Chain A
Amino acid sequence: MLVLLILHLVAALLAPLFVRWWGPRACYPLALAPAAAFGWALAQTPTVRDGRAVVETYPWVGQLGLELAFRLGTLNWLMTLLVGGVGTLVLVYCARYFSPGSLGLARFATVLVAFAGAMLCVVLADDLLLLYVGWELTTIFSYLLIGHSTERRSSRWAAAQALMVTTLGGLAMLIGFILLGEHAGTYRWSEIAAGSLPAGGYLITAVVLILIGALSKSAVLPFSSWLPVAMAAPTPVSAYLHAAAMVKAGVYLVGLLAPALATVGPWRPVVLGAGLATMIVGGWAALRQTDLKLLLAYGTVSQLGLLVVLTGAGTPDAALAGIAMLLAHALFKATLFLVVGIIDHGAGTRDLRELSGLRHGATPLVAVALLAAASMAGIPPLIGFVAKEAVFAAFLDRPVILAGLVAGTVLTVAYSARFLWGAFADRPGVPPARLDRIAAPLLLPPALLAVAGLVAGPLAGGLDGVLRPYAELFGAVHAHLVLWPGPTPALGLSALVLVAGGALFALRGPLTPLLARLRAPVGGNPGYEWVVGRFDRFAVEVTGATQRGSLPQYLGTILVVLVLLPGGAMLAARPWGERIALWDTPLQLVVATVLAVAAVLAVGSRSRMTAMLLVGVTGYGTAMLFVLYGAPDLALTQFLVETATIAVFVLVLRRLPARFSARPLRRSRWLRRAVGAAVGLVTAGLALVAASARNAPTISAAFPDLAVAEGYGRNVVNVTLVDIRAWDTMGEMAVLVVTATGVASLVFQRSRTGPRPRRQQRGARPQRPGRPVWLRGGARLEERRRSIVLEVMTRLIFHTVVLFSLYLLFSGHNAPGGGFSGGLVAGLALVVRYLAGGRYELAEAAPIGAGTVLGAGLAVSVGTGVVSLLAGGSVLQSARVDLYLPGVGDFYLVTSIFFDIGVYLVVVGLMLDILRSLGAEVDRHIEAAGGATSRLAVERGEGA
């Protein structure tokens, strides 16, 4: 059975390709998938007739005890035949129904085949959770199919409504399944049904929830409204989803669970009450429709109510009648929908007030429709008659229900007649429509279904044998499916129903005012709209109350929560230890004082540049604290980063206003500071708690030994970065690459990969004779912006600095340094080149794209990991290579150096990208703007 599902999946995936090749005719090969399901089910008939089941299980999610468990019993067998058979015919029909240029045909074909697969999953699943998965898949695919005409509002609305109602039901059902499964200890329905469910209040809840799912799927009251609305779908979809397949899923579920659950308290009242009401109300509504498709839709709602009553009643005879009715309904209702599709297609309308004289010249179509409608009305010798006889016979001892069923059936007869009359009658005053020759692929599917309904009637005896095992699940079966039962009360009721239904149809004229006044609530669209509207209003209110749109407000809320909850907990518990040292070394106090003063001043500063410099002071101060704490690597990196930060800041601040705009809201400023002070206090408290909270030995005790033994390095921090915790570093590099790309894309208006600014024409600017050229790109700077001292210094130190950065990179394994600090030093060298010589000098210094450097760095690091994997180690494992070089002697290389080289390149690439964007490109903006604002903000402003 898994093979069939996979076949559907493959067909669905191939569908777009087929549609591109063959247009609508692609539906022919696609029809093979449901046809295979049909054929397979047919081959299993002997097994099913013997009352045995075909079982297949495959392991799926072992941890959850989830299996792909399939089981083919009698009910599953029938549903598989219907899903596969009608699916095949509908696909064949689609091949001619759609014109070659139809929009969205590839999507339609894909989704329709996928839907057939999902439906198959529902009817074959034995595991309730697997059934749920298939169930929700059918919901989603039906959403896509109903909303096929995406450009029409009614279509989108109908799709959303179907999705909303059935998903809600599905979720309720899932909870019900879980309740059942957890109490029974298994999710395999065959096992749950075989054992006895533990009694308890949960069972009632579970039954109600599952029934909500089943009834909403089958459009039974009070969930009926979505089905008529769903008629916005293309007609083949209606024929398949809304007659034969999807809406039957609810009936199928009721029928599947009834043998075990029908005796549970609320089951029978709910099923019988809702089913009967739906049957009568739906039938009444069908009498008022003028759109033939809607007439059928309300008829379907009515019949679904009947089916739910039959399969849910929980008696053997009703079950036998129910399963026969299930077959009969699929055969005649799918036929009628397909007939409506042909009429709509040929006549251009399906409104019965505009149709006239169609029966002339369309004899085959009329015959097909007649057969199907007669079966719907229950006229012998069709299968519909056999089923209806069984229905009446099954409820002869329950007069109330029987009365309801008879009333509903009278309505069925009446709207069957109304359908035929509406489709084919001659109407005076209406220009007669004519159908052109109907293509065989359009006529063949409904004809086959109608003939099947005709043949199945006389074969009722054989059918009885095959379907009986299902009814026997409920107990001993007394009834039989027979074509001619002889003179019985049921036969009398049938005759009565036919006469009454015919009379109701004949009286349609006088009854019109009554029909118009007595509007059935089954099209409960207003109710649905009311609920959705309420939700919408509620959502608007909640969003309006919480999403105020102000960033400070959001941050403030988060921070206040931080103060109240962890801060309050801290005050309540007072977990800090007694021993608090004032300082590790008195120097800390000096540094900390400077740092604190700078931080507080930075908050109050009105000038951008001053604030930035003060924050820089805190950065350098933090670096000093790192030194005093015994963290030289951190201190080195912090110093370098702080310097780079200031450089980048200056690049941007030259464009921004010198001062922050004055904000008059003084109260809010004090509020901000109060929040700041509170958060600071809580954080200090947290620091105190965290520092004294250690109650287990630190894992870093093992790191020194690990670093030497496995990382072959002595600098523990660096080995941690490139070996022990190398994955973290890999993630960080990815972040840096993304950041660099983000910076570039925010500043560049065009692609940054285009031609780089190069020194265009050598000597474009006349050079003063005799003046030595220190930086070639500097010659293109404006004269007043050049600084000869800076140029000379840059010329002298640049290569030394780059060399030093390489030294840091290579020595980092054993001494403070490494890829980060090395890369930052090299980046600062580039900053110096840029500051001294401008953007042309930057291009001169690094004639390579920043993206290339970033990509190379990432590639080198990832490559190191891959190589160590290929060499048989784990990813990013280090190896030591001993080498000998004449003149140097023995030395060794650790492979993680390549990882560090990658880090180095990424950091250099980041710096280069920042300089290209915030430096060179902003220069270009300034030049384009006429240079008026090209002076640094600090030069114009009042500065510190």
Chain B
Amino acid sequence: MSAGGAGPTLVLVVIVGVLVGCGVSLLLERSLTRILLGVILLGNGVNLLILLGGRPGVAPVVGTGAVEEMSDAVPQAMVLTSIVITFGLTAFLLAVGYRSWYLTGDDEVPDDIEDRQIIRRAERDEVTTEDLGGEGADADPEQVDPEPARRRLRRGEGVE
């Protein structure tokens, strides 16, 4: 089965590139469905990439062939795990997409509102917090605790 020997196999190398490239193109989209399809393509490509790290051969089942001719079992165990995790991720992202559709009628990923607000702040040269502690323009800045207990008592808050 292993006509190529120890070196890499060009067909597999190319197909890894194609799958990853297509996956990335979809990943950069706005629609969650497309992003998810991109993740799946990317996953397939990367699984093959991991597999390429080991050597091809006969199935790694003792007794079916010579041990020297067996394919590498370690990347296979890793990839098997990865396939199942990708499935879990697929289901999760689909649920996210459904939720997004349920709430907004679409599954597009919009820009983050908080981030846009910060960008607007930056453009207007503002700060993030209003809690700068200034007690008003007329107050003496050294009288930083200007509220004596009596006022608090009057408000019925108890002392301290």
A53 to B96, CA, bound (A): 66
| Interface assignment of A345: CB less than 8 Å from any CB of chain B | yes
A547 to B128, CA, bound (A): 15
A732 to B77, CA, bound (A): 12
For B106, give its contact among A98, A633, A661, A680 (CB under 8 Å).
Answer: A661
Q: A592-B11, A622-B48 are in contact. Are A631 and B148 (CB under 8 A)?
A: no
Cβ < 8 Å to B, chain A residues 688-710: 688, 690-692, 694, 698-700, 703-705, 707-708
| Interface assignment of A336: CB less than 8 Å from any CB of chain B | no
Whether the Cβ atoms of A581 and B7 lie closer than 8 Å is yes
Residues from chain A with a CB closer than 8 A to the CB of B77 are: 717, 720-721, 725, 728
Whether the Cβ atoms of B20 and A547 lie closer than 8 Å is no
Residue of A nearest to B58 (CB): A630
| Interface assignment of B131: CB less than 8 Å from any CB of chain A | yes
Residue interface mask B39-51, A partner, CB < 8 A = 1: 0110011011101
Whether the Cβ atoms of B18 and A523 lie closer than 8 Å is no
Whether the Cβ atoms of B74 and A540 lie closer than 8 Å is no
Residues from chain B with a CB closer than 8 A to the CB of A914 are: 91
For B149, give its contact among A156, A349, A618 (CB under 8 Å).
Answer: A349
A343 to B16, CA, bound (A): 80
Q: A293-B145, A631-B51, A700-B73 are in contact. Are A910 and B91 (CB under 8 A)?
A: yes
Whether the Cβ atoms of B28 and A584 lie closer than 8 Å is no
For A231, give its contact among B18, B52, B144, B153 (CB under 8 Å).
Answer: B144
A720 to B79, CA, bound (A): 12
Q: Which of A536, A622, A663, A918 has the most CB of B within 10 A?
A: A622
A600 to B18, CA, bound (A): 8
| Interface assignment of A157: CB less than 8 Å from any CB of chain B | yes
Q: A692-B7, A717-B60 are in contact. Are A698 and B158 (CB under 8 A)?
A: no
| Interface assignment of A235: CB less than 8 Å from any CB of chain B | yes
A-B contact count (CB 8 A): 444
What's the least CB distance linking A293 to chain B, in Å? 7
Whether the Cβ atoms of B127 and A533 lie closer than 8 Å is yes
For B81, give its contact among A149, A732, A925 (CB under 8 Å).
Answer: A732
Q: A290-B143, A732-B85 are in contact. Are A580 and B49 (CB under 8 A)?
A: no
Q: How many residues from A make CB contacts under 8 Å with B? A: 164
For A622, give its contact among B23, B47, B60, B92 (CB under 8 Å).
Answer: B47
Residue interface mask A640-683, B partner, CB < 8 A = 1: 01001100110111011100110100000000110111111101
Q: A582-B9, A692-B8, A747-B99 are in contact. Are A816 and B94 (CB under 8 A)?
A: no
Residues from chain B with a CB closer than 8 A to the CB of A690 are: 49, 52-53
Q: A158-B144, A551-B109, A581-B8 are in contact. Are A816 and B61 (CB under 8 A)?
A: yes
Q: A536-B128, A599-B19, A676-B24 are in contact. Are A634 and B149 (CB under 8 A)?
A: no
A944 to B109, CA, bound (A): 25
Residue of B nearest to A345 (CB): B159
| Interface assignment of A589: CB less than 8 Å from any CB of chain B | yes
Q: A588-B11, A656-B107, A721-B80 are in contact. Are A680 and B91 (CB under 8 A)?
A: no
A103 to B143, CA, bound (A): 25
Residues from chain A with a CB closer than 8 A to the CB of B5 are: 579, 581
Whether the Cβ atoms of A102 and B158 lie closer than 8 Å is yes
Residues from chain A with a CB closer than 8 A to the CB of B19 are: 595, 599, 618, 622, 680
Q: A679-B20, A679-B21, A743-B91 are in contact. Are A615 and B40 (CB under 8 A)?
A: yes
Residues from chain B with a CB closer than 8 A to the CB of A583 are: 3-4, 9-12
Residues from chain A with a CB closer than 8 A to the CB of B6 are: 579, 694
A540 to B121, CA, bound (A): 7
A679 to B127, CA, bound (A): 39
A631 to B51, CA, bound (A): 9
What's the least CB distance linking B103 to chain A, in Å? 11
Q: A97-B160, A537-B127, A540-B122 are in contact. Are A739 and B92 (CB under 8 A)?
A: yes
What's the least CB distance linking B29 to chain A, in Å? 7
| Interface assignment of A278: CB less than 8 Å from any CB of chain B | no
Residues of B within 8 A of A (CB): 1-31, 33-34, 37, 40-41, 44-45, 47-49, 51-63, 67, 70-74, 76-77, 79-81, 83-92, 94-99, 101-102, 106-109, 111-116, 118-119, 121-123, 125-129, 131-135, 141-150, 153, 158-160
Across the A-B interface, the 6 shortest Cβ-Cβ residue pairs: A680-B21, A549-B115, A544-B122, A581-B4, A684-B17, A676-B25
